[in-house]
Amino acid sequence: LNRRLAAFGTTIFAEMSALAQRTGSINLGQGFPDADGPEEVREAAVRALRDGRGNQYPPGPGIPELRTAVAAHQQRFYGHRGLSYDPDTEVLVTAGATEALAASLLALLEPGDEVVALEPYYDSYAAGIAMAGGRRVPVTLRPSAETGTYHLDLDEFRDALTDKTRLILLNTPHNPTGTVLSRDELAAIAALAVERDLLVVADEVYEHLVFEGEHLPIASFPGMRERTVTISSAGKTFSFTGWKVGWVTAAPELISAVRSAKQFLTYVSAGPFQYAVAEALALPDAYFTGLRDDLRTKRDILATGLADAGFGVFRPAGTYFITTDIRPLGETDGFAFCRALPERAGVVAIPNAVFYDHQDQGAPFVRFAFCKGTAVLQEAAGRLKRL
Ligand code: PMP
Ligand code: GLN
């Protein structure tokens, strides 16, 4: 293994899901729903398979039906903010958001370029930046026990930008803290990107999982459309994490760049699932609000359970994760806590330190996923209360 990758080992999600399986624990670690997405969307995949649609290589940029559906989705949800995309030149289908991220970084970075990202960050960011030869520059979100939320210090953000900065890698709603960046924060970041002539890769996979406030695509801020690569995924929005269908929307030159990298990573994404996701994106508004409302209820169940069990709870405004502080339980090391938790309580969680360069900053925090049935969440909360 080369030096660029050696530091990353096995992803925490594989390690913790294996631990859950080995110990028969409730898996609130890796973020995947325990109920699959809509029946009619599964049927659409079966129909595509059966009718021979997508069983051979689909077109490189993605099937036209899906690109059209992505463009229509952007128009439906963000058209009022002036955002719309041409399905032929401004949409690219990828193998999940993970490939979209990797392809974007590989396509847009020169070796040595700096990438500013909000820490804690999703684990593929560090590896993706490293594979592209870039250098990551974390800006740490600061937890506040009083408000039970995380905050971005815009002065720190500005100070992180140097003449080597090429790109801002932004994630809102934010995994693992559940932070949804506000209009003012996004406007400030956008203004800096314009002033410094930076690109933004916006990971918006949790765009429909916002419980408080509103998801605002950074591409919809002044001067941003031409410099933003926006990424989303059917994994989160339709509860099909195993299908690995994601997409990118951006200006034609950026799409063309990302596609240059994608063509040598996977060339194309699985065909039949693209037909099904095209149908999913056309589901009525009630599907999207229903998903959100259901997850809000689940958030509340788990947040209450965790607080009752003595955790410090950061209440997420979005995503399906709750970050907790284990210090009120007399613990300080999230890694040790998560490794012992299956034995102690029959529950698996993720130590937030894996999402940090400044590991000390993340040490006492642990993430729980709430995209599970309510009975499962209640059972987990009950077990944790007996800790
Ligand atoms: N970005 C973030 C912030 C995520 O949480 C995830 C999924 N865990 C991904 C990207 C990857 O998405 P996909 O499964 O579509 O590759
Ligand atoms: N995105 C999910 C998470 O953050 C799962 C990621 C994965 O398994 N690679 O838990």
Q: What is the CATH number of the domain that holds 264?
A: 3.40.640.10
Which of 234, 267, 283 delimits the end of a domain? 283
How many domains would you assign to the chain?
2
CATH code where residue 352 lies: 3.90.1150.10
Q: Are residues 33 and 100 in the same domain?
A: no
At residue 70, the pLDDT reads 99
**CA 265 to ligand 2 centroid distance, Å:** 20
Q: Are residues 263 and 302 in the same domain?
A: no
Measure Cα distances from 120 to 125, 263, 329 in Å.
10, 30, 22
Q: Which of 283, 313, 344 is the last residue of a domain?
A: 283
CA of 246 to the centre of ligand 1 (A): 9
Q: Are 304 and 364 in the same domain? A: yes
Counting from 1 in the atom list of ligand 2, the atom nearest the Cα of 17 is 8
Q: In this predicted structure, what is the pLDDT of residue 9?
A: 84
Position in ligand 1 atom list of the atom nearest CA 100: 16
Please give the number of the atom of ligand 2 that sits closest to the Cα of 235.
1
Q: How far apart are CA 135 and CA 166, in angstroms?
A: 10
| Residues 33 and 43 placed together within one structural domain of the fold | no
241 CB within 6 A, ligand 1: yes
Q: Is the CB of 175 under 6 A from ligand 2?
A: yes
HSE toward the beta carbon, residue 35, CA cutoff 13 A = 12
Closest ligand, as measured to the CA of 125 = 1
CA 31 to centroid of ligand 2, rounded, Å: 5
The single-letter DSSP state of residue 30 is S
Nearest atom in ligand 2 to 176's CA? 4
Question: In whole angstroms, what is the distance from residue 164 CA to residue 169 CA?
Answer: 15
Let me know whether 76 and 188 are in one domain: yes
Question: Could you tell which of 16, 122, 129 is best to mutate to test the pocket of ligand 1, judged by most ligand atoms within 8 Å of the CB?
Answer: 122
Indicate which ligand has the atom closest to the C-alpha of 368. Answer: 2
Pocket test for ligand 1, best of 28, 98, 322 (most atoms within 8 A of CB): 98
Residue 36: its pLDDT value, please?
A: 98
Reading the chain (387 residues) residue by residue, the pLDDT tens digits are: 888 888 888 889 999 999 999 999 999 999 999 999 999 999 999 999 999 999 999 999 999 999 999 999 999 999 999 999 999 999 999 999 999 999 999 999 999 999 999 999 999 999 999 999 999 999 999 999 999 999 999 999 999 999 999 999 999 999 999 999 999 999 999 999 999 999 999 999 999 999 999 999 999 999 999 999 999 999 999 999 999 999 999 999 999 999 999 999 999 999 999 999 999 999 999 999 999 999 999 999 999 999 999 999 999 999 999 999 999 999 999 999 999 999 999 999 999 999 999 999 999 999 999 999 999 999 999 999 999
- Say how many C-beta atoms besides its own lie within 10 A of residue 135's C-beta: 16
Same domain, 45 and 33: no
Q: 249 - beta bridge partners?
A: 91, 230
**Is residue 45 domain-shared with residue 11, that is, in the same domain?**
no
Q: What is the pLDDT of residue 18?
A: 94
Residue numbers of the domain that contains 349? 3-37+286-385
Is residue 298 within a helix (H) or strand (E), and if so which, with residue range? Answer: helix 285-308
**Do both 322 and 231 map to the same domain?**
no
Of the ligands numbered here, which is closest to the C-alpha atom of 12?
Answer: 2
| Residue 33 CB–ligand 1 contact under 6 Å | no
Residue 179 beta carbon below 6 angstroms from any ligand 1 atom: no
Atom of ligand 1 nearest to the CA of 30: 8
Q: Is the distance from the beta carbon of residue 233 to the nearest atom of ligand 1 less than 6 Å?
A: yes
Please measure the distance between the N-terminal and C-terminal CA atoms of the chain and give it in whole angstroms: 40
The last residue of one of the domains, among 260, 283, 306, is: 283
- Does the Cβ of 178 fall within 6 Å of ligand 1? no
Asked if 116 contacts 169 with a C-beta cutoff of 8 angstroms, the reply is yes
State if residue 235 touches ligand 1 by the CB under 6 angstroms criterion.
Answer: yes
If asked whether residues 151 and 295 sit together in one domain, one would say no
Q: 212 and 310: one domain? A: no
Tell me the β-bridge partners of 168: 116, 200
Question: Are 223 and 250 members of one domain?
Answer: yes
ipTM over 0.90? The verdict is yes
Q: What is the Å distance from ligand 2's center to 22 Cα? A: 19
Q: Which ligand is nearest to the CA of 204?
A: 1
Give yes or no for residue 207 CB within 6 A of ligand 1: no
Q: Which three-class secondary structure state does DSSP give residue 350?
A: strand
Both tokens of 325, joined, read 């502080």
Q: Based on the domain organization, do 45 and 141 belong to the same domain? A: yes
Going from the Cα of 30 to the center of ligand 2, the distance in angstroms, rounded, reads 5
